Amino acid sequence: MAPIVTAAVEGPTDEAVAGRLITHVGAEMGPVHGKQGKPHLRQHVGGYNNAAHHAPWLVLVDLDREAGCAPPLCDAWLPAPAPGLCFRVAVRAVEAWLLADQEALAAFLGVARKRIPGQPEVLDDPKSTMVNLARTSRRKAIREDMVPRQGSGRSVGPAYPSRLIEFISGHWRPDVAAKRADSLARTIRCLRRLVEAAP
């Protein structure tokens, strides 16, 4: 029987990434907590850590612009993580992990592969990069779903999360992406350690 990993995430896109990674390492996704943004996760991370003394947990958060790199954020949020907790930080957002699978993302978006940045973790705003790539898509449906409508005041299109979830679930290759995203590679290694240590 596959180990069950409980997760806590910021929102639906992160939930899809967490689920894809947990199954990728041979475990099953358990209950998913949070899903109300980053401040909510920070408020409850101590409780998640306590629970990780008894069962495997993954807490996934975007670095955004909160710190220059992941370690200061980890120290500020949770200086003493439980052995059963993977507290992982996507640099700077999970979109960078998706951009890191250049070939699959180019095919999904309908853009040339050379337009996908080769070092997604150095981008200041991976979400904007994703939206701007979608803006150049050859596929009208991608442009309509992922690019905000003029005057909407929104940063993403109306079906941006569901399009990313479609990509994560059916096209994204974590091991390929991990070669271009070190924070993703570390997350996969952490989850594999959790699975190996599970009873």
Give the tens place of pLDDT for each residue, 61-111. Answer: 998 877 777 788 888 888 899 999 999 999 889 999 999 999 999 999 999
Residue 21: partners with Cβ closer than 8 Å, 6 or more residues away: 58, 174, 187, 188, 191
Predicted confidence band at 46 (pLDDT cuts at 50, 70, 90)? very high
Nearest to 160 by CA among 181, 120, 129: 129
Structure tokens belonging to residue 87: 């507290």
Say whether the peptide bond before residue 149 is cis (omega within 30 degrees of 0): no
Strand partners, 28: 4
